[in-house]
Amino acid sequence: MADTHRRNGLDRTTRRRSAVEGVERRQRGLATAYQLAVALPVLGWLVYQGILDPHRFFSAKILPALLFWILAVAVVDLMPVSVAGGLQLSLSFPIELAVAFIYVPPVAAAVALLGSFDLREMRREITPLKAVFVRSEIAVSVLAESVVFHQFASIRSSWGLLVPAVLGAITAGYVVNTLLVSIYSRVTTGTRLRQIVSKMHVGTRWEFLLSYLGLSLFGVVIGRFYLHEGLWSVAVFVAPLVFGRQMYFRSRALSDRLEEQNKLLAEQAAQLQVHLGEEQHAVAELRELNRIKSEFVAVASHELRTPLTTIIGYAKTLRQPGFADDVALRDECLEAMERQGDRLLRLIENLLATSHVEKRQLALSVEGASLADLAAEIVEGLGRARDRVTIQVASDLPPLHTDRHLLGRVVSNLLDNALKYSSAESNVVLGAEAGAGVIRFWVQDQGIGISRDDLQRVFEPFFQADSSSTREYSGVGLGLSLVHELLQPLAARIDVRSEVGAGSTFTVTVPVDHPGLVATGETAPVRSGGQRFRSNRGSKPESNGQAGSNGHAGSNGHGGGHGSEAAGEPEAKEPVQ
């Protein structure tokens, strides 16, 4: 199967590569055909004109002037101005325009063909065919300019005739040149006409128009001066063109550098803004952590002090001679001391469990477990609060193959949480039912409920809706956080339904057979590293461990910090001595 998929993938890649290569070959073929379609007719027509009237090209009076014009065009053309998309703007345009105005169309086209040079041609970056094609494009444009101009005026005509003739000539040349270039780009790269025109323009539309008209006027001036002053006047005009080119390059290089610097500064500013946001977020997190730490220290100190004060108070009471012989009072004091000691032990165990959770020191031992027996053991260990718990767990539930101690910690913390946040007269239900390969058990109370805002944070460590030391309910906010963390190694999930003033229901779904169970069905520990946590309270479940619920982490119970550090019993007070 894997080999088949691999072969199919290779076949698809090969087909895509073949398709791309086919498109490239087709484009190269079309480009070659188009280049030949332009270059061959131009060359053939010029050769025919030379044969038809050689005097126009090779007479002793004409030939030196033509060679000079060819040299002038070549000198300026060998210093082109690069524009976008690999196109180049030739500043020989006014010289070629002067040639078009002075000479008849065939001669002007021949000068443009022979004088137009391309640096890429000299560097062998383009093929000879493409070089001839580029020259032919320019020759056709100059031919169109010369034909249109000589239809309406000559270089010796008055300015009244020259201006409209020049406008018509440059329009014809521009249209022909743009048409030839756009067709070639469309054939080779698929570029649209509008994109080609925009790349051929340097600057804005108005800047291009003004510069185009200015260069056209420059061409007329060159032609008129040539008629009156001779060839040296052309050299005088070529020098400003070269100087203008150099100034353009310098200003453009400066503009490019400034643009690059601006882009770099913008990128650096954006990066600094991102870093600033990250730093501000980190500072806010540190402040929040510091606030949580301060609140936790205050709350934990209060939670530790209360049972210790009670134990010390009862111990002092028992030391008094008047109370030591009272058996009933002594038993009451000892029971209260035991409850407060148990409460203190649960708090310390939760603190230790949180430490082990953060260090990932958790071992998982899969074994057979009866949820009904486990529930009975946990409820029995609640002391006086067991009378408030109603067990609705069927005895015929299938046995679980999971970590009994971690599961017991989950049930115990949920019960402690429910008892703590409901009145002493209300009832708490611990129920369970079987599903398809899972067992769902729930803890339902009639307590204070959870607000919508607190519901999103109830499983966060140390979170409490009321974190003041004078709050109504005790705890440091670890119980539900541990429940949430203990569910991940158990492959279980938790859901919460709650309404303020109406109570909450925590539903846990645990698989009957743990995914880590050995395939043979034998009970075997599934080690994930770390030490085994054990309870020192007889039949009560272990009080350490970590698991993150793979269910609704945003669901929560009695306000995220309703931990189960304290049992559901009311807080004992120090006796009056």
pLDDT in tens, 508-533: 999 988 887 644 444 444 333 333 33
- The pair phi, psi for residue 363, each rounded to 5°, is -115, 140
- Helix 105-115 and helix 93-102: axis angle, to 10°? 150
Quick one: how many helices (H) and strands (E) in the chain? 17, 11
- The pair phi, psi for residue 558, each rounded to 5°, is -70, 65
Cβ-contact 176, 148 below 8 angstroms: no
Six token digits for residue 240: 């400003």
The DSSP bridge partners found for residue 494 are 508
For residue 538, the 8-state DSSP code is T
Six token digits for residue 289: 């952590």
The per-residue pLDDT for 455 is: 75
pLDDT, tens digit, 9 for 90 and up, residues 164-223: 999 999 999 888 988 888 888 877 776 666 666 666 555 567 767 777 787 788 888 888
Q: Which amino acid is at 23?
A: V
Distances (CA, A) of 246 to 34, 208, 211, 249, 252: 35, 18, 16, 5, 10
What's the CA gap between 511 and 179, in Å, rounded? 74
- The pair phi, psi for residue 318, each rounded to 5°, is -65, -25
Distances (CA, A) of 227 to 146, 220, 222, 537: 17, 11, 9, 118
The per-residue pLDDT for 230 is: 78
- The pair phi, psi for residue 496, each rounded to 5°, is -130, 135
DSSP H or E stretch at residue 264 = helix 232-319
What's the CA gap between 14 and 10, in Å, rounded? 6
Question: Measured on CA atoms in the order 255, 260, 264, 270, is the torsion positive or negative?
Answer: positive
The per-residue pLDDT for 329 is: 80
Q: How many CA atoms lie within 13 A of 220 on its CB side?
A: 22
What's the CA gap between 165 and 145, in Å, rounded? 9
Q: What does the pLDDT profile of the chain (577 residues) look like in tens digits?
A: 445 444 555 556 666 677 667 777 787 888 888 889 999 999 999 999 989 988 888 888 888 888 988 888 888 777 655 544 444 455 688 888 899 999 999 999 999 999 888 777 777 888 889 889 989 999 999 999 999 999 999 888 888 888 899 999 999 988 898 888 888 887 777 666 666 666 655 556 776 777 778 778 888 888 888 888 777 777 777 677 666 666 766 676 777 788 889 999 999 999 999 999 999 999 998 888 887 777 667 767 766 777 788 888 888 887 877 776 777 887 888 888 887 887 777 777 767 766 666 666 667 788 888 888 888 888 888 877 888 899 888 877 898 888 888 888 888 888 888 888 888 888 899 999 988 889 999 999 988 888 877 777 777 766 555 444 444 445 545 678 778 888 888 889 888 888 888 888 999 999 988 887 644 444 444 333 333 333 333 333 333 333 334 433 333 334 333 333 333 333 333 332 2
Cβ-contact 551, 494 below 8 angstroms: yes
The per-residue pLDDT for 334 is: 83
Six token digits for residue 262: 């601006």
**What SS3 class is residue 129?**
helix
What domains appear along the chain, each with residue ranges and CATH number?
29-230 (1.10.1760.20), 259-572 (3.30.565.10)
Whole-number CA gyration radius for the chain: 47
SS3 readout for 393-459: ECCCCCCEEECHHHHHHHHHHHHHHHHHCCCCCCCEEEEEEECCCEEEEEEECCCCCCCHHHHCCCC
The per-residue pLDDT for 519 is: 40
pTM for the predicted model, two decimal places: 0.43
What's the CA gap between 374 and 355, in Å, rounded? 26
Q: Which amino acid is at 218?
A: F
The per-residue pLDDT for 338 is: 82
As to burial, measured by CB atoms within 10 angstroms (0-12 exposed, 13-18 middle, 19+ buried), residue 19 is exposed
The per-residue pLDDT for 8 is: 54
What's the CA gap between 154 and 149, in Å, rounded? 7
Six token digits for residue 498: 């709650």
DSSP H or E stretch at residue 369 = strand 367-369
Six token digits for residue 491: 């492959």
The per-residue pLDDT for 429 is: 92
